[in-house]
Chains A and B, each alone.
Chain A
């Protein structure tokens, strides 16, 4: 689904994160000042009519053949003037006999989208979650595990990612010798391909942002008073792509180092300007294998009197267990336990 950012599916079920859809939709609006909801990136909380319309258009297509839809309203707090458009989706799913789950609906949103009338008209099953102050509504769903949504989404995403890793992202490495670490890499994880395939990219980076926030590597926007500025640091093309989107989502500045040449004199000056403020840096990478590149970046940043607070990556390969010097946050952790089918290898002369 090309025009959607969060849709992930398995068998006959399709999942949408309305918050993810909205925050990427908000990229359309130019904000000279980050002051309104649409300029708040990941921290936006309002679901707007154009996002609902885009989702509806996707469901309306002939190709849409799923039997169950999950709409996740996590982090959406309100939706002004959009109930009529959302009503069209609900009518559409009833007409097509699709079962639908509306999960993590806030009290305000429940009113804004006029979900009470949907429940009443269609005898939908409603589940109240008083402790978390949200509501779930199910229409025509018999067996739904609703307790651990984050875990459900994470597991679904990971299953899809592993499948894609085995089929597409993992490629044989012709050069074998790793430039950055003194090991042989008979195969490598092609994150460029992950980016080009697009269908898991946006939601993946959204989930990565979410995780970095819950891991406290990225602070909630409104809790940033009186703390040091955090910047995203990257040093590769893949890192540039990931950092560019993360920067817009998490409202963070970036810093980077590119190819060598006279301009490095300038870059150095700019970096020094940043470092002089003793900022915090989050290193953004594609794949962390032995961690050599992180160490180089860390040394450079520390040399300039700043601090590395962590590393964000798409894949972290846990080649060595033990205490980590840098806190890491990754979308997918490749471990000894889950590498069985994937067959990622690191070798030395000793095998």
Chain B
């Protein structure tokens, strides 16, 4: 079995990939990719040994985006059992943390400012951290060096050199060019060729920008002539990304004795974009020759997308590269017309079984992380208060969660809204809600945010205690049957009692009611608290905090609070008889 190289580029990962955005990436996309890659490898009797990523790993160079990349790469590494030293990652222009760079310059007196691109440590701060996190102590990223990484493999007699072509990139338009710092490059090349053993090794270059993009001058490396002089003819083949082309194949350009093999984006959304990956492998018994297999993501009817290995008889679907003797390459372009060479996941019987379990597992992991964040927030800000609180005659608890803080604080409300959003995505798979109702002040603050995340749903709100004569015109439309699936948003639930008066209202008859509460603090199994109602289900965001209720149910007069008139009352705000 031959060793293979996977080349991907321009991942443009956004944070929380399951949300709408610029990226197609989600769990099912990932699984299709893995399956497409597996099929491509097995059909060609290949074992994946190297992964090359030519930049734009993140979309905005933000740390939270790299967190998603870390998950993906670690899974990929684990799945194909790749050693970390065989993974090469170059930065792209989207791996520059624009916000940090801009902020640094904004906060600096104009006279002290250098050219924006010169703040290498700041612009690559998130990429550097990601690099460190992923490779742990094995590799480190040096922000102002041309050399990102070198893979040297004695078994395959292969040297892969990763180059940083974003030396001059910043957030400024004038800096939006490919540029390679030459001093460190020169030293590295000298270093490699000082070792005579490497003379017969095949040498590949990886970078983000296309050295000489003929169609798009702004995308190529501005000082490529200087770089070429340093490289001489020793690295005739460059793997690159940057341009999200409409087709991945045919993107091998020849310039003199050099070949530039580019791959399109990995998971971008866009009408003119074709997502792609390439598999590269050496050809048996043909020294210095490599074959490139092109795969594209096809979405013929948007329902059954799959990764397709080109099979059109009119076009090239594979090329052979002669790494060492580049002048032979044009004669080595070969056609492969194997029409059965589809990698179609929709035909894979295991596909349907695979998706739900994997997705739910991954989503749950992420969801749980956010719930843990919420719990930390509660702990750090001491938001759980113990005591004995009488809210009403029927509702008396031995503790409260300071939901006021959680709702009022802009960071925590963002986190909570996002948790609700994720919970919605988990619950509403086959059916869609058509109306969201916020209950009480807190439910309304949360509901307002959700109404924007689900603009196709109508929105309303009601007070905690809905009196019969409080019905607005809108609530009459609910009764008239315009809505079938209604979501009620509540801050906290102990038991069904606090909502029973609401859901008993005539307007909710014959409707599917989905109660979503931020906290469920009751003792029973939360899925059963509405079991006496056929049409009501309950979903809590966090059920990790349990609060006891006052036990004096039958004889409330024995409760210390009542007995000694200790109940607190703050009349300044009250117009309510309760």
Contacts and interface: CB of A to CB of B under 8 A. Distances in A.
A pairs with B? yes
Interface of A: 2-5, 24-25, 27-38, 48-50, 53, 81, 84-85, 88, 108, 111, 179, 190, 192-193, 195-196, 198, 202, 222, 231, 237, 240-241, 243-245, 247-248, 251-268, 270, 300
Contacts of B438: 240-241
Contacts of B268: 81
Nearest to B452: A27
B483 interface: no
Nearest to A258: B441
Contact of B449 (A50, A244, A251): A244
Contacts of A254: 407-410, 413, 445
Contact of A243 (B270, B414, B445, B575): B445
Interface stretch (B274-282, B331-339, B397-405, B546-554): B397-405
Nearest to B457: A2
B20 A50 contact: yes
Nearest to B462: A237
Contact of B402 (A85, A243, A266): A266
Contacts of A258: 440-442
B417 to A, nearest CB: 8
B410 A196 contact: no
B455 A259 contact: no
B271 A84 contact: yes
A226 B438 CA distance: 37
The majority secondary structure among interface residues of chain A is: helix
B412 to A, nearest CB: 10
Contacts of A4: 455
A192 B474 contact: yes
A222 B106 contact: yes
B575 A37 contact: no
The majority secondary structure among interface residues of chain B is: mixed
A231 B22 CA distance: 33
A14 B288 CA distance: 62
Contacts of A36: 60, 62, 99
Interface stretch (B29-37, B293-301, B342-350, B385-393): B385-393
Given A193-B473, A258-B440, A29 B19 contact: yes
Nearest to A259: B576
B112 interface: no
17 contacts: A3-B455, A28-B21, A30-B418, A35-B100, A49-B270, A50-B20, A108-B173, A195-B460, A240-B448, A241-B438, A244-B449, A254-B410, A255-B408, A258-B440, A258-B441, A262-B569, A266-B385
B200 to A, nearest CB: 42
Give me the 4 closest cross-chain CB pairs, A-B, nearest first.
A260-B574, A30-B418, A244-B448, A264-B570
Nearest to B390: A262
A263 B573 contact: no
Contacts of A255: 408
Given A3-B456, A81-B270, A248-B414, A237 B569 contact: no
